[in-house]
Structures are given as structure tokens and as C-alpha cells.
Structure 1
């Protein structure tokens, strides 16, 4: 991902409850919706025990707008009620990046 610096990363770390209970469908819908939001840059995700999803945004305002989006708010409520036994959100300013690619 090449983008102007600085930008912001929202790091969502979580432990899931047992079973899917509609989680996979909602996660796919939320990624599709996030990609349509003003200020969205990209997303990366991994799950092996603890899940980590990092979404990248142009500004803190874009992050706040995404957090307040009606459909995302419903997904957040479902997450607390059904899908997660624990989660933590961190918002970080990205000032520098580098990568290795063969």
C-alpha cells in the first residue's frame, strides 16, 4: 500500500466465541462497506487464536465516521453480544513504513 504519510491505522485485536453465528457473513459485509467509506485506504486481517484486523484511514475524521456508521454500529453491538469474548481497539498514526517483497 503506497499512500501519503501520515495516515492512521485502526488495530482491532479480538478473541472470538465458539461457532460462527453469522460472523463470517457480517465480517465480509463490513469489509465491503468499509471499502466504500470516504478516507478508507486498505485492510489486513489474520486469525489464528487471537484475531488481528488492521484498517487504514486517511484521517481521524474518517475513522470517527466509520465508527458511527449505522450498519457498523449494529455489527459492533452484535460483536459484544455474540461474537467476541474480548477485544481491544488501538488507533495509531503511521508516519513511516517500509516493506520487503521478492
Structure 2
């Protein structure tokens, strides 16, 4: 048995299903070899977007092959426009094109239907042993 305390496991959960309509921005990218400053800028953008009125949440995924997907959720088109045109975000976008990305696509969509599922914790019947 180890004397080291166990690191707490942070549950992985998707962003909740919001009441439609709302908007999503799906940013799919392949990063370049040059990543100087990327982590700091990415963390700053995650903090900055939280201040946008109408921002609902964000999810990230990265494949082992290097494809990254970020999905941002926004209550309305105005919130998405505020984020897209934010001065600090615009600087990060330009730097991304110049340094950090080999390629990317951005898809923006209005969500008209949304639902979710979470498995309930099942209780074990002690008599089953």
C-alpha cells in the first residue's frame, strides 16, 4: 500500500443541455510545431470569455493525432459577436494564424434542439452478496 495520498479524481462531464435556442461555435484545429505562448494565451482566453454576457460554457477535446476541437456555447448571436470582436481575442486570433495553427475551421450554428443524459448512481443491494 502506498503512503502517497491519492490525487482526487475530477469528474468529466459535458456542458449541460441548455434551453434552445442558443448558439455554438465549433473550432476544429491542427496545431503547428510552434507553440510558444499558446498555453498562457489559451488560459487567458478561457478566463476572458467567461466575462462575456451570454456565455454559457465551453468544452475541449484533443485526439492523439493532434486534432483539437473546442465548442463554445452562447445564449444568443450578440454574445457570440461580442466574443468574436473582443480586442484581446482578436490579437490571439491573429497570433494563432501566424504561429500556432497549421489549419482550422470554425462552424457556427443555432441550436434548436438540446437534451442530455446522466446515469444515476445505482445502489447495490447488500442482500445480493
Q: Does the pair score TM above 0.5?
A: yes
TM-score by length of 2: 0.75
Judge conservation of contact 2:19–2:114 (CA < 8 Å) in 1: no
Structure 2 spans left out of the alignment, 5+ residues: 1-15, 120-129
CA RMSD of superposed structures (Å):
1.1
More strand by share: 1
Bigger Rg over Cα: 2
Structure 1 spans left out of the alignment, 5+ residues: none
In the alignment, is residue 65 of structure 1 matched against residue 82 of structure 2?
Answer: yes
Judge conservation of contact 2:35–2:99 (CA < 8 Å) in 1: no
Moved over 3 A (4+): none
1:2-22 deviation per Cα after TM superposition (whole angstroms, max 9, x unaligned): 432110000000000014211
Match of 2:35 in 1: 20
Q: Which protein, 1 or 2, shows the higher relative CO under an 8 Å CA cutoff with sep ≥ 6?
A: 1
